[in-house]
């Protein structure tokens, strides 16, 4: 039996095995407190013809379905809640179901997402750390990872692994966060390429899709 008050590391659920090659682009977003409205605001601004977007928002199981439906109504993108294994497609958004981790896998050049039961990792299920680690395992440097408003530090482990593997990483700025905990912890770990306001995140996603947002690796990284 696990202790609900203890913080469990993603190693207990998923081994780190960073992908080092080239591949299709992928966008990953993690959020908690304040994230429901912030994610909705971003998706409302996005056009179609973007790489797949995967999102882990800390949300109870009985609310994630209605949240996915809301996002689908207000966005030009097709939004799905991940309750079974699904291939990731362009112009689509995949939301982790409440109470289930979302894990990505790779089959040849295709990405898949599937739900996975398990203990709370970094005190959450779904966990942003689990999603970010699995994204790093299948896509590595081909990822744009965004950590947004939220309490605590879930996501800081996984986004640091993505940063170390050459991914482009963004943190929402303090001024536009409801709670600056998650971005602040990721910044403190040295895991962030750029800190931007909520109103600019959509443009960063479009720039990444168009090849205009690229990580420059230097000797100090």
Give catalytic residues, as residue numbers.
Answer: 32, 58, 154
Number of neighbours of residue 2 by Cβ within 10 angstroms? 10
Nearest to 195 by CA among 221, 171, 213: 171
CA distances from 114 to 1, 54, 85, 103, 189 (A): 24, 11, 4, 6, 28
- In this structure, the strands spanning 110-116 and 86-87 are antiparallel
CB 16 within 8 A of CB 133: yes
Find residue 169's DSSP bridge partners: 145
Q: Spell out the residues 6+ positions from residue 82 whose beta carbon is closer than 8 angstroms to its own.
A: 94, 95, 96, 97, 100, 102, 113, 114, 115
């Amino acid at each position: 039996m696990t202790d609900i008050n203890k913080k469990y590391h993603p190693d207990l659920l998923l081994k780190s095995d960073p992908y080092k090659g080239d591949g299709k682009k992928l966008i990953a977003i993690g959020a908690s407190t304040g994230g429901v409205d912030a994610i909705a605001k971003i998706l409302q601004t996005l056009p179609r013809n973007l790489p797949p977007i995967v999102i882990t928002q800390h949300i109870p199981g009985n609310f994630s379905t209605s949240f996915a439906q809301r996002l689908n109504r207000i966005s030009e993108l097709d939004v799905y809640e991940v309750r079974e294994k699904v291939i990731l497609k362009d112009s689509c958004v995949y939301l982790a179901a409440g109470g289930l981790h979302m894990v990505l896998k790779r089959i040849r050049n295709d990405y898949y997402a599937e739900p996975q039961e398990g203990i709370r990792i970094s005190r959450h299920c779904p966990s942003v750390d689990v999603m970010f680690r699995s994204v790093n395992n299948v896509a590595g440097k081909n990822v744009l990872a965004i950590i947004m408003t939220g309490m605590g530090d879930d996501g800081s482990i996984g986004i640091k692994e993505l940063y170390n593997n050459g991914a482009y990483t963004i943190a929402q700025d303090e001024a536009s966060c409801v709670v600056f905990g998650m971005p602040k912890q990721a910044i403190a770990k040295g895991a962030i390429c750029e800190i931007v306001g909520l109103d600019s995140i959509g443009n960063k996603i479009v720039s990444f899709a168009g090849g205009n947002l690229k990580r420059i690796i230097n000797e100090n990284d």
